[in-house]
Amino acid sequence: MTETNSGPVIENDNELTIRVGDRSLIETDGRTIGEVFEEAVGRYGANPFLIVPRDPKRAYYPDGVTITFGDAGQMVADYVASLRRAGYGHGHRIAVLLENRPSVLLLKIAFNTLGVSWVPINPDYRPGEIAYLLDDSNADLIITVASHAANVKEGIAKSGAESRRKVPLVIFDEQGTGEIPLPDAARPPPANDDVRPQTEASLLYTSGTTGRPKGCILGHEYELMMGVWYASRGGLLSLDEGCERVYSPLPLFHINTGIILFYGMLVSGNCMIAPERFSRSRWWSEIRQTEATGMHYLGVVIPVLINEPAREQDRQHKLRWGLGAGVEPSLHAAFENRFGFPLVEVWGMTEMCRILANCREPRQIDTRAMGRPVDGLEVRVVDGDDGDVLTGEPGEMVIRYSSATPRKGFFSGYLNKSEETEEAWRGGWFHTGDTVAQDKSGMIYFVDRKKNIIRRSGENIAAAEVEACLQAHESVGQVAVIPIVDEMRDEEVMACVVTANGAKTKGAELARELFKHCNAQLTYYKSPGWVVFVDALPVTGTQKVLKHMIFGEDQDPRELPDAHDLRVLKKR
């Protein structure tokens, strides 16, 4: 596949080679993350690799910090020495809860160098959610910071109910950049062979439709392939070797920033800018301060920024492009015209993040277009029987690498869920669960999510998990959790509740009690932003709730007298 010389191109996609002009960048084919990182340090030593913007209110690096490739190499070497001395190696898994600190990524490289798998934890997880992750992953160690220690200790106490296994805990000191004290590994490294491209590098948990998150196994080859793919999209997303600084306020435990952007910067000698989180008040000052040339966004970010009063300095930045998903078409052109750079809509998922990218003109920004299939990412749009739908008709998007090697560059499977893995791969195509349409030119347009998932501010929330939590409350007879339109966060969680016999009078008091019940057990964003009390839920003959029939087609359930707005209670 060839592109213009304006940016990186893939000369041989099968060998994962990137070229910028006449220079071949780091070779990743047949190599491990540790090997590629070592070469990057040698090649780009003085280049900035990770930047944390200045923020006096932040608990770590309040004055900001720039970590070069050379600095990163030394820090990773020190971490590797600590891990090796304590007996951690190939086949171990270590969970980390370090918020958006840059050390979370450098620890990852150290883990992967030794064949240890990185298991990041959402900092907003409650103890029960932490316990589930520790048990499901069979983690050998957990590393966190002092501010999360109490929550993590409670999670550890809840885990190991059957095995009586207690996961060792290490409190990480961000100011220490050398070796870290670690307890000796409780078992020898499970694998005695060399670290290979197929070795597990990460275990990322993603929301599923059955309630509990599923652990996606990601190999070294997979993660490096994502970085190469990101760095080689070309068009409006062209990267120059060693010159880019990409700002992303997204969490590092997500695949978007923590893997695809991170490795995209690694293989191209570029720099990732990682603030603690999105901040409307600091957004532009941090972008100017760090001289960012690109930025990542979620759909919720765009209305926040465009609703700010226009200023003379709106175009006083170095941004050439933004990359993200979910921007409202009606805001797309207005944003670009005001701030002077294109927003490139993309599609990806944890199981396969060789992104579709709408990065070439004409982009059709008044639609939800998200790119066309290319070599290495084949797409079909199918009906419920996996038959092709007519051009322009909606259907589920299914994907593969190629007919010869359909699973190349995909995740290795769901941990402890081989049947679910094979079901997702039925017919030799991976079923994404997203409803799309495709036009005659091949352009893919996002329509909806087929899976029972609520998308709130970029977070995937499994309705079944929230339902299970609410159903355990004594006042809940039946419950169905559905997405409801939210003008700021795309979607919000709405719980449709039939009260149990003998339940206290339904109303604002009970709605708040149900919210508190959820918020004590689930990450804050999963708790219902709306509770609406209904007399009954429509069901099929097999008692499956017909969620699409709970309310009338033209009815806004938020306006019902028994609907209670709890969004103000949803806080970290």
3-state secondary structure 140-160: CEEEECHHHHHHHHHHHHHCC
Residue 501 has pLDDT above 90, yes or no: no
Identify the band that residue 13 occupies on the pLDDT scale cut at 50, 70 and 90.
very low
Question: What pLDDT, on a 0 to 100 scale, did the predictor assign at position 300?
Answer: 79
Report pTM. 0.85
Question: What pLDDT, on a 0 to 100 scale, did the predictor assign at position 12?
Answer: 35
Write down all domains in the chain, each with its CATH number in brackets.
9-371 (3.40.50.12780), 453-569 (3.30.300.30)
Mean pLDDT to the nearest integer, 6-27: 46
The percentage of residues in the chain with a pLDDT greater than 90, rounded to a whole number, is: 76
Mean pLDDT to the nearest integer, 267-285: 95
Question: What pLDDT, on a 0 to 100 scale, did the predictor assign at position 17?
Answer: 43
Mean pLDDT to the nearest integer, 308-326: 95
Q: How many residues does the chain have?
A: 572
**Interatomic CA distance for residues 295 and 309, integer angstroms:** 21
Mean pLDDT to the nearest integer, 408-419: 96
Question: What pLDDT, on a 0 to 100 scale, did the predictor assign at position 269?
Answer: 96
Residue 164 has pLDDT above 90, yes or no: no
Which residues have a Cβ under 8 Å from the Cβ of 48 and sit 6 or more positions away? Answer: 66, 67, 68, 245, 271
Tens digit of pLDDT for each residue in 416-428? Answer: 999 999 999 999 9
* DSSP H or E run through 417: none
Contact yes or no for 458/250 (Cβ under 8 A): yes
Strand, helix or coil for residue 200: strand
Who has greater pLDDT, 170 or 487?
170
Mean pLDDT to the nearest integer, 114-138: 95
**Interatomic CA distance for residues 193 and 90, integer angstroms:** 8
Question: What pLDDT, on a 0 to 100 scale, did the predictor assign at position 168?
Answer: 96
Question: What is the token pair recorded at 192?
Answer: 């005695």
Question: What pLDDT, on a 0 to 100 scale, did the predictor assign at position 357?
Answer: 96
Identify the band that residue 299 occupies on the pLDDT scale cut at 50, 70 and 90.
confident
Which residues have a Cβ under 8 Å from the Cβ of 463 and sit 6 or more positions away? Answer: 209, 452, 453, 454, 480, 481, 482, 483, 493
Identify the band that residue 84 occupies on the pLDDT scale cut at 50, 70 and 90.
very high
Residue 504 has pLDDT above 80, yes or no: no
Identify the band that residue 63 occupies on the pLDDT scale cut at 50, 70 and 90.
very high
**Interatomic CA distance for residues 215 and 198, integer angstroms:** 17
Mean pLDDT to the nearest integer, 219-237: 95
Residue 1 has pLDDT above 60, yes or no: no
Residue 186 has pLDDT above 80, yes or no: yes
Question: 77-91, 231-245, 466-480: which has the minimum mean pLDDT?
Answer: 466-480
Tens digit of pLDDT for each residue in 21-49? Answer: 445 678 899 999 999 999 999 999 999 99
The percentage of residues in the chain with a pLDDT greater than 70, rounded to a whole number, is: 92
Residue 355 has pLDDT above 60, yes or no: yes
Which residues have a Cβ under 8 Å from the Cβ of 217 and sit 6 or more positions away? Answer: 200, 202, 203, 411, 412, 413, 414, 415
Sign of CA dihedral 250, 255, 258, 260: negative
Mean pLDDT to the nearest integer, 165-193: 87
Mean pLDDT to the nearest integer, 544-560: 88
Who has greater pLDDT, 462 or 432?
432
As a whole number, the mean pLDDT across the chain is 90
Who has greater pLDDT, 45 or 546?
45
Residue 557 has pLDDT above 90, yes or no: yes
**Interatomic CA distance for residues 534 and 444, integer angstroms:** 38
Question: What pLDDT, on a 0 to 100 scale, did the predictor assign at position 18?
Answer: 47
Question: What pLDDT, on a 0 to 100 scale, did the predictor assign at position 16?
Answer: 41
